[in-house]
Structure 1
Amino acid sequence: MQLATAGLLYIRNKKLLLAFSRNKQCFYLPGGKVDAGETSLAALCREIAEELNTQIEATDLQFYTHITAPAFGEQTGLIMEQDCFLLQKEIDPTASAEIGELAFFSLEEYLQQQNQAPGAVMILQQLKQNGLID
């Protein structure tokens, strides 16, 4: 089974912003599920408003990559299909009620976390390979 999602790539000081899900007890890319009839860009703007208390527009985003990974904290066999977009403007995000914490990570820092979302590891590896993060 597949789950369509969109993820935000916000980089500051060569580190990637990740959000801590209280429900899943794991840091992951801010963003979420794409609803029926919704574009991944529209879904991402909606989710960022909900999770990070920040308004962004589709024009602030640039498509970076698509990843396919097991959906962390979901039923076994559920595969996340995620469009990932780079944010092209500065923001000052704050965590909403569903988000326990926001933090910036290098790949090495994320790999030290107790729980790791496979999709987050994949995108951190790609960003590091492309020289966008440490």
Structure 2
Amino acid sequence: MAIIDKLAWIELQHGRILSTRSKGRHKYYIPGGKREPGETDFMALAREIKEELSVDLKEKEARYVGTFQAQADAHPDGVEVKMTCYNAAFSGSIAAAHEIEEVVWLSYADREKVSLVDQLIFDWLHQKGMLL
């Protein structure tokens, strides 16, 4: 089994989760991305979020949320994505940038609009009463 190692930023407001849709894609994804060589989790996540959403994450307020794994969207069977999730305060205004076409706030009712690993995250957050 192949594993795609990714990081994700969990940003919740009013019982909804921040999600994005990349250009040419139909599903929404929790924002984040892959590490580059030598990057820590926070360095990689902060870089990806700055590139995608034009905001700066605050390292001192970053907290590990959990790690989730499922079949990777648009990949052959047996290729899974492992998503290590953090939440963190930020500065700036969230705005779509780079490859991001749309920024949305999704509720649990929108679960079918996201990838399989994001569905696991939605389920976990909903069970905790954090995603309405």
Deviations 1:73-111 (A, max 9, x none): 234432111110112357531001300100011111232
Which amino acid in the other structure matches residue 59 of structure 2? A
Deviation >3 Å, runs of 4+: 88-91
Cα distance in structure 2, aligned partners of 1:34 and 1:82: 12
> Post-superposition shift, 1:37?
2.4
Cα distance in structure 1, aligned partners of 2:75 and 2:24: 11
Q: Runs of 5+ in structure 1 lacking a partner?
A: none
**CA 1:78/1:131 → structure 2, altered by over 3 Å: closer, same or farther?**
same
SS in 2 for 1:121: helix
**CA 1:102/1:22 → structure 2, altered by over 3 Å: closer, same or farther?**
same
- State the aligned residue count: 131
Give 2:129's aligned residue: 131
How high is the sequence identity, in percent, across the aligned residues? Answer: 24
SS in 1 for 2:57: coil
Cα distance in structure 2, aligned partners of 1:35 and 1:76: 25
Per the normalisation by structure 1, the TM-score is 0.88
Cα distance in structure 1, aligned partners of 2:53 and 2:35: 17
> Post-superposition shift, 1:123?
0.6
Q: Runs of 5+ in structure 2 lacking a partner?
A: none
Give 1:117's aligned residue: 115
SS in 2 for 1:82: strand
CA contact (8 A) 2:55 2:92 kept: yes
Higher alpha-carbon deviation: 88-97 or 99-108: 88-97
Deviations 1:44-96 (A, max 9, x none): 00000000011113223110000111221234432111110112357531001
SS in 2 for 1:131: coil
**Could you say what the CA RMSD is over the residues aligned between the two structures, in angstroms?**
1.7
CA contact (8 A) 1:107 1:121 kept: no
> Post-superposition shift, 1:122?
0.7
Which amino acid in the other structure matches residue 128 of structure 1? H
- Superposition pairs of residues 36-55 of structure 1, within 5 angstroms: 36-55=37-56
Per the normalisation by structure 2, the TM-score is 0.89
